[in-house]
Structure 1
C-alpha cells in the first residue's frame, strides 16, 4: 500500500495463500503487482518511499501492466476455486488495515471472505504481555515488506505461537 489511510492511499501488491486449519499451505494464489501512476507513487508516505524503493516494489508498480480490476478478478477467481463464499477469514499481521483496503478497492474479494479476521499481531501482543519468555523466542521477521513474503512470515509466526502458547488441555481435567 502507498500508506495506511484507506481514503487517500492505494494498493500496490496482493498475494494469497490458502491454508488448512493446521496452517499447512494448500495452494499459492496469484502474487500480483498493481500498476499505479506516478502521481500516486510520488505521494507515498516516507516509510513507503524508503521500503518499497529498497524492495523494488515501486519500480515494479511503474512497470506492471496489471490494473486493480485485473488483480481483483484474478484474486477472486483463485479464492472461489478453493473457498466457498463466507467460509474463509483473512489472516496475517495487522490485517485489519488490509481488510479496509479490500473493502474499498476490491469489494468482490472482501464480500467473499468471512467477516472474522485472524490477526497474528493480536496473538503476538498477547504473548508479549502474558508470556514474554515465549515472545522473546518467536521467529524473527526478515521484513522484506512484500506481500507473499509477509504472508509466509505470518503463517510461520502463527505456527510458533500455536505450538508455544496454545497447548491442548486435558479435557477430563477441565470437567
Structure 2
C-alpha cells in the first residue's frame, strides 16, 4: 500500500493546551479550566479536544486576587467552577485519552501562548498527561516578542 508523503504523521503533531487558573502561584493556585487541540506540523487542526471546567473549592475561588476575581467572574468561569462536577483527576484522564488518540507517546510537544505558565501547572497537577508529551515546548509568545 502506497503512503502519501504529504500526510502528516502522528510524530509531527503539536498539542495546544490552554489553562485558566485561580492565579499564577503553582504552590497554592488551582486549574479552573483546560482546553486542548492537536495540530499537524503545518498548524492544521487535526482534532479539537475537550474544553473542561473543573470543580474548584469555594475557599480557593474566594482567595483569588482581584484581577482573577474580576476576569473569571465576568466570564462566568468562577460560577461554572462552583457548579462543575469534573475533578482534577477526571479532567487529566479525559485530556490524556484525547491526546493519546492523536499523538505518539513522547513525540508531540506542548504548545501555546505563554505556555510555560500552563506547563508548571500541568507538571504539578497532570503529570500523567505531561509524561505523554515531548519535553520541548512551543511558545508562540516568543515569536510575538521577537517581532516587536
TM-score for the superposition, normalised by structure 1: 0.72
* Runs (4+) off by over 3 Å: none
Query: Is 1:58 aligned with 2:78?
Result: yes
Q: Which residue of 1 aligns with 2:104?
A: 84
Aligned length: 128
TM-aligned CA deviation for residue 41 of structure 1:
0.5
Counterpart secondary structure, 2:31: coil
Structure 2: gaps (5+ residues): 1-20
CA deviation vs aligned residue, 1:62-94 (integer Å, no higher than 9, x gap): 010100000000000000111111111111111
Query: Is 1:13 aligned with 2:33?
Result: yes
Report 1 or 2 for greater relative contact order, CA contacts < 8 Å, sequence distance ≥ 6. 2
Higher-Rg member (1/2): 1
Structure 1: gaps (5+ residues): 129-175
Counterpart secondary structure, 1:12: strand
CA deviation vs aligned residue, 1:83-107 (integer Å, no higher than 9, x gap): 1111111111110010010000000
Per residue, is there more strand in 1 or in 2? Answer: 2
Query: Is 1:33 aligned with 2:33?
Result: no
